[in-house]
Amino acid sequence: MKSYINILEVRDLCVQAGGKNLLDHLNLTIPDGEVHALLGQNGSGKTSLMMTIMGFSGYTVTQGQILYKGQDITEFDICERARLGIAIAQQRPSTIDGVKLRSVLLYILRNEENPEERLVKLAQTANMEGFLDRSVNDGLSGGEIKRAELLQLLAMSPVFSMMDEPDSGVDIESLALVGGLINKLFSPDEKRKAKRNSGLIITHNGKILELFNIDKAHVMHNGSIGCSGNPAIILDTISKYGYEECVRCIGRQ
């Protein structure tokens, strides 16, 4: 029986890396089944938040908790968090020389009924058939890297996905494709019928958020969430007045 309301709850989180305070008493709640957007100026701490929730070493939690499905996972390592259904698409993932994208996907899909068939279908959806036998991310353009990351997320179909600027470096024509893949990721699937997967999408650019339903947007400022609310209103304010005005408004609160 499900005993939680929120898929993610970050409470009073303070994080340091390299002797620097990156997150400062940050609070964030994402109810189960909701997809939220995380906006904010460069250097405000968006990537650090995602990496800390995923459990990357190098980000030291000095205060606060991360709860996933109501369970405190603050001390869990990255593998445990992945097994619980948390996954990310990085903005600039590393190249993995000698490991084919096909091998990674087949490993992810190893427990499916027909992994080969499913792999081909997913690769077609992401327009990535031509990249399956190349090393992961080797020589890929910005847009291709985003599609490769999303393809792996789609294969995993995680309960909670975070993606770091899936629209950066993506040209206008490919934006619709990337938007479609994200939409698919958050649509109810065969395994969890009538249930929307949850997520957090980090972006600078409101365009991608027009392509699917976002439940709430948050603006990060100096390592914490400065403002949360209706995505359309927040995006409209940012597009009209820029982040500078957003930051001034947060400062006045």
Residues that bind Mg ion (CB under 5 A): 46-47
Q: Tell me the three state secondary structure of residue 97.
A: strand
Residue 17, binding choice from Mg ion, ligand ADP, none, Cβ under 5 to 8 Å by partner class: ligand ADP
- Minimal CB distance to ligand ADP: which residue? 18
What angle, rounded to 10 degrees, do the helices at 101-108 and 142-156 form? 20
For Mg ion, the closer CB: 16 or 168 = 168
Q: To 5 degrees, how large is the angle CA 21–CA 15–CA 27?
A: 110
Beta-carbon contacts of 42 under 8 Å, excluding residues fewer than 6 positions away, are none
Residue 40 binding partner per list Mg ion, ligand ADP, none, with a CB distance cut-off of 5 to 8 Å that depends on partner kind = ligand ADP
- Selected from 13, 32, 37, 48, the binder of ligand ADP by CB under 6 A is 48
* Cα separation, 52 vs 152, whole angstroms: 20
Torsion of CA 119, 123, 126, 127, to 10 degrees: -170
Of 45 and 158, which CB lies nearer to ligand ADP in the complex structure?
45
Residues 6+ apart with CB under 8 A from 80: 55, 73
**229 is an interface residue for ligand ADP by CB under 6 A:** no
Q: Is 57 in the site for ligand ADP (CB under 6 A)?
A: no
Q: Choose one: 44-52, 77-85, 185-193, 231-239; the region binding ligand ADP (CB under 6 A).
A: 44-52
Interface residue with ligand ADP, options 8, 36, 46, 155 (CB under 6 A): 46
Task: Please give the structure tokens belonging to residue 201.
Answer: 């999408």
**Run of H or E residues at 210:** none
Closer Cβ to Mg ion, 47 or 197, answer by number: 47
- Residue 147 interacts with ligand ADP (CB under 6 A)? no
Which residues bind to ligand ADP, rule: CB under 6 A? 17-18, 20, 22, 40, 42-48, 58
